[in-house]
Amino acid sequence: MEKHKNENHPVLKKTRSRFLSGLLVLVPITVTVLVIRFIVGFMASVGRPVLQIWIGNIPHYVTEILAFFMTFLLIYGAGFLATHITGRKLVNLGENILMKLPLVKSIYGASKNVVDAFAHDVSTNSEAVALVEFPRPGSWVIGFVMGNMKGPDEDNMYRVYVPTSPNPTSGFLLILPKKEIHFTDMQVETALKTILSGGSLGPTQYRFTQNPVPNTHENTNDAINHEIRATDAI
């Protein structure tokens, strides 16, 4: 009992909320920096021999600066091509060629699917948040209702994505009838915040509804900040 009281102490709750909020901010930035650093290092290793042929021996930091600008131009050029009709056709042509190569198509296809999953996030595609019994009766998990479909008997079935915590990009796709789904009034961003934080940041109360509640696309950062302000007020 004493341990439970200590876990609910206002100072501990405030510290935990701020730590997790900071983690949610820093992790994407860190991943982005690591990816860009890898590309810059690759560009430097490729470009250094070419520059030495043209210019001769040059300081290492000059190569790094040139590699950074080359990386910027590469990313900008790829974005420019992807957002124009002609460029989009060239990108599609390149993708079609890659998808015909036996080994390359598996690697490229898998990585592209991951990127597409982040580009079209759950908060955009999900129709509602629900609770379902999984993986056994009596054990409830958060699920995202992604759409509905007709079953073999013309019954209305729902596609429910049950993510893992704290990494929601992996999970389980369940096809369930309406009677096995408990729709809630919880917003998608609130549910994502709960999953990402391992349950530390989440709603204090929710209600069941008869039908899916449309998502209002509340900003995730606003939801996190609201939780922090609520903790500060304690």
* pLDDT at res. 225: 42
pLDDT at position 102 is 76
Give the position of tokens 């958060």: 142
Distance (Å, whole) CA 21 – CA 40: 29
pLDDT computed for residue 220 by the predictor: 41
Considering the domain architecture, whether residues 83 and 144 belong to the same structural domain is answered as no
Domain extent, residue 133, equals 122-232
Of 160, 167, 158, the closest CA to residue 134 belongs to 160
Residues 9 and 84 in one domain: yes
Q: Are residues 102 and 149 in the same domain?
A: no
Q: Is the pTM of this model over 0.75?
A: no
Pair (115, 144) in one structural domain: no
Domain end point (choices 119, 150, 170): 119
Beta partners for residue 75, in sequence order = none
Q: Which of 8, 34, 222 is nearest to 123 (CA)?
A: 222
Q: Among 89, 119, 149, where does a domain finish?
A: 119
Q: What's residue 161's pLDDT?
A: 92
Ranges of the chain with pLDDT below 50 = 1-4, 217-234
Question: What is the predicted pLDDT for the residue at 124?
Answer: 60
Query: Residue 35 has what pLDDT?
Result: 78
- 97 and 137 part of one domain: no
Tokens describing residue 212: 């899916």
Q: What is the pLDDT of residue 106?
A: 73
Q: Residue length, the chain? A: 234
Same domain (yes/no): 91, 15: yes
Residue ending a domain, among 97, 119, 141, is 119
SS (HEC) of the chain: CHHHHHHCCHHHHHHHHHHHHHHHHHHHHHHHHHHHHHHHHHHHHHHHHHHHHHCCCCCHHHHHHHHHHHHHHHHHHHHHHHCCHHHHHHHHHHHHHHCCCHHHHHHHHHHHHHHHHHHCCHHHHCCEEEEEECCCCCCEEEEEEEEEEECCCCCEEEEEEEECCCCCCCEEEEEEEHHHCEEECCCHHHHHHHHHCCCCCCCCCCCEECCCCCCCCCCHHHHHHHHHHHHHCC
The token pair at 140 is: 């409830």
Q: Are residue 14 and residue 113 in the same domain, yes or no?
A: yes
Residues 6+ apart with CB under 8 A from 70: 43, 47
- Examine the domain organization and report whether 106 and 139 are in the same domain: no
Same domain flag for 210 and 138: yes
Residues 111, 156, single domain; the answer is no
> Do 142 and 196 fall into the same domain?
yes
> Two tokens at 81?
């091509």
Statement to judge: residues 106 and 84 lie in one domain? yes
Report how many domains make up the chain.
2
